[in-house]
Amino acid sequence: MEKVHFLTLGCPKNLTDSELMLGSLVRAGFAITADPDEAQVLVINTCAFIEPAKKESLDAILEAAELKRKVEGRRLVVAGCLAQRYGVELAREIPEVDVFVGTGNFLELPELLRRTERPEDRNIPYAGAAHLLPTMSLPRIKNTDSFSAYLKISEGCNHTCSFCIIPKIRGRHESRRVADLVGEAQKLADEGVRELNLIAQDLTAYGRDLTPKCSLAELLRELDQVDGLRWIRLLYCYPNFVTDELLDTIAGLSKVVKYIDMPLQHADDGVLRAMRRERSAAALHKLLKRVRERIPEVTLRTSFITGFPGETDQAFGRLLDFVRAEQFDRVGVFTYSREEDTAAYNLSPQLPERVKRERRARLMELQAEISLGKNRDLVGHELEVMVEEAMPGRVTRSRGRTPGQAPEIDGMVLLKGQAQPGEFVRARIVKAFSYDLAGEVADATA
C-alpha cells in the first residue's frame, strides 16, 4: 500500500478539492500520511490566483522535487489551478513532476498514478477552463477540525472582473442541486460537524442556472433544518446579488450566523469601473445600509485591492474615507497582482510595487484602529464561542471563535477555563486586541 502526502495551498475551495482527491485515493487503496518523508507519493495542490500564490506554489513544487530525489521510485504530483493554467510549461521546466491533474480531472489521480508512462508521455491537464462539481456520493476525507467543514455549493464564475483569472481556470458558474447539498450537510453533521461554511466563487449566484431556478435563500432554509448543525456561515457574496430575500433569510434563521463576507474591492467610481465591478461608491453605501437595517447584529467582512492600474492618490483617499465611514468588522487587503490573460493586464498606468504596499499598509493600519475599537466594545459582554483547540502546555487555556469570526481569515478568542475542542461555551470577554479577544469561560451551552 503506497502512502500519499498532501500539501494544499490557496483557498478553502482548493481544500475541498484536496479532500475529494484524498477520498478517491483511499478508495483506490492508497494510504494517507502527514509525514512527507515516509510517503511514496507527494501531492502539491496549487494556487494560481495572484503572483505571490504562484510563487508559493512553485517553491513548494521545487521543495517536493528535492524530497523526491531522496527516495528511489517516489513520485511527485502537481494538482490544482497552477497545473490547469500552466501545465504544459511546468512539464517542460520541472521534469521531476510525474503527474499533472487540473481543476477538472483531479479524480483521475489514482488511475494516473498506477500507469507506467514514459516521462515524455506524462499527463498534462487539458487546455482551457474546467472544474469538477462535487456530489455527496463522492468519497471525501476531511482535512479540517472534526467539528467544522466547508461545503462547496457551486463552481466557476460568470463575472468578468478585469483583475481576476479564476473564470479562465475554473470556467462558468455551475450550481449543485439542493437535495445533494442537504444530503452532504446531513452526512457531515452525522460525522460530528457543527459548523458549516458555505463556499463558492460567488455564493449569491447559486441556483440561477438550475431548472427550476433556485436561490441561496432557499438553500439556506433547507440547510437550517439539518439536524446537528449549530452554525452555517456564508463566505463570498457578490454584492450585486445580495437581495432582500437573502438578507431576511439570514436574519430569520437560527442556525445561519449573522456574518456576511462581501468583497467590494474598491470604493472609487473610476477604479470600480476599471475593475468591472458594476457598482459605484454611492450604491455600495446604500447596499451596506440595507444590509445593516435588515440584519442589525450583522458582522460584515470585506476585502479591497490597493494599487490597481490608474488608482490615483485621490482615488485611494476615497477608499480610505469609505472604510472610515463604513466601519467594517473585518477587512482583508491585497495589493494588485498583474495577471496575464486578464483585462487589467494592459491597463495603464501600472503602479510601482512600493506604492501598492504603502497603500495596503495605510489601509490595514486604519482598519486595525477600527477593529480595536469594535473589540473594546465587546469587553464585559458574554458571547457564544466554539472552542477549537487547547493551547499547548496550558491545561485551562484554549482558543476558539465567535459567530463573527470565520476560520483561518479572522481573529480568535483566547479562552481561560475548562473547555473541550468542538464544545460551545459562553465566554465573558475581558480584554481586546486589534483582531483577537481574550475571554473567560462562563458555562457550556447546549
Are residue 169 and residue 257 in the same domain, yes or no? yes
Which tens digit of pLDDT belongs to each residue from 150-201? 999 999 999 999 999 999 999 999 999 999 999 999 999 999 999 999 999 9
Are residue 409 and residue 365 in the same domain, yes or no? no
Number of domains in the chain: 3
Are residue 350 and residue 212 in the same domain, yes or no? yes
Residue with cell 498514478: 113
Are residue 216 and residue 346 in the same domain, yes or no? yes
32 lies in a domain?
yes
Are residue 348 and residue 416 in the same domain, yes or no? no
**If DSSP states are collapsed to H, E and C, what string results for 137-200?**
CCCCCCCCCCCEEEEECEECCCCCCCCCCHHHHHCCCEECCHHHHHHHHHHHHHCCCCEEEEEC
Which tens digit of pLDDT belongs to each residue from 378-388? 999 999 999 99
Bin 336: left if φ > 0, else alpha if -120 < ψ < 50, else beta.
Answer: beta
Residue with cell 511514496: 40
Mean pLDDT over residues 116-143, rounded? 77
d(CA 296, CA 261): 16
135 lies in a domain?
no
Which tens digit of pLDDT belongs to each residue from 111-122? 888 875 555 555
In this structure, are residues 207 and 218 in contact, taking their beta carbons and an 8 Å threshold? yes
**If DSSP states are collapsed to H, E and C, what string results for 166-180?**
HHHHHCCCEECCHHH
Taking the CA of residue 9 as centre, how many other CA atoms within 13 Å lie in the half-sphere pointing to its CB? 24
Q: Which domain holds residue 438?
A: 382-444
Range in 2-16, 124-138, 226-240, 325-339 the model is least confident about: 124-138
Tell me the CATH number at 32.
3.40.50.12160
Percent of the residues in the chain that have a pLDDT greater than 90, as a whole number? 82
128 lies in a domain?
no
Sign of CA dihedral 415, 419, 421, 427: negative
- Nearest Cα neighbor of 331 from 363, 353, 361 is 363
Measured in degrees and rounded to the nearest 5, phi and psi for residue 69 equal -65, -20
Confidence at 212, pLDDT banded by 50, 70, 90: very high
Q: Residue 292, Cβ neighbours under 10 Å: how many?
A: 14
Are residue 83 and residue 182 in the same domain, yes or no? no
Residue 4: its pLDDT value, please? 95
Which tens digit of pLDDT belongs to each residue from 32-76? 999 999 999 999 999 988 888 999 999 999 999 999 999 988 999
Mean pLDDT over residues 5-25, rounded? 94
106 lies in a domain?
yes
142 lies in a domain?
no
Of 129 and 366, the one with more pLDDT: 366
Q: Which strands sit side by side in the sheet containing 31-32, from one edge to the other?
A: 31-32, 3-8, 41-46, 75-80, 99-101
d(CA 429, CA 442): 10
- Strand residue runs (E) in 309-377: 330-335
Residue 37: its pLDDT value, please? 93
Cα 435 from chain centroid (whole Å): 19
- Between the CA of residue 75 and those of 115, 251, 321, 421, what are the distances in Å? 12, 50, 52, 36
Residue 125: its pLDDT value, please? 65
d(CA 197, CA 137): 19
Residue 50: its pLDDT value, please? 86
Mean pLDDT over residues 309-319, rounded? 97
Cα 225 from chain centroid (whole Å): 25
- Asked if pLDDT for residue 263 goes beyond 60, the answer is yes
Are residue 48 and residue 154 in the same domain, yes or no? no
- Among the three residues 358, 376, 394, which one is the final residue of a domain in this structure? 376
Tell me the CATH number at 387.
2.40.50.140
Are residue 12 and residue 66 in the same domain, yes or no? yes
In this structure, are residues 60 and 46 in contact, taking their beta carbons and an 8 Å threshold? yes
241 lies in a domain?
yes
* pTM of the model as a whole: 0.93
Cα 71 from chain centroid (whole Å): 34
In this structure, are residues 260 and 300 in contact, taking their beta carbons and an 8 Å threshold? yes
Residue with cell 477538472: 104
Are residue 239 and residue 355 in the same domain, yes or no? yes
Are residue 110 and residue 9 in the same domain, yes or no? yes
Are residue 387 and residue 370 in the same domain, yes or no? no
In this structure, are residues 345 and 409 in contact, taking their beta carbons and an 8 Å threshold? no
Hey, what long-range contacts does 219-223 have (CB within 8 A, 24 or more apart)?
A: 219/153, 219/178, 219/181, 220/246, 220/249, 220/250, 220/253, 220/256, 221/249, 221/253, 222/178, 222/181, 222/182, 223/181, 223/182, 223/185, 223/196, 223/255, 223/256
130 lies in a domain?
no
Residue 107: its pLDDT value, please? 92
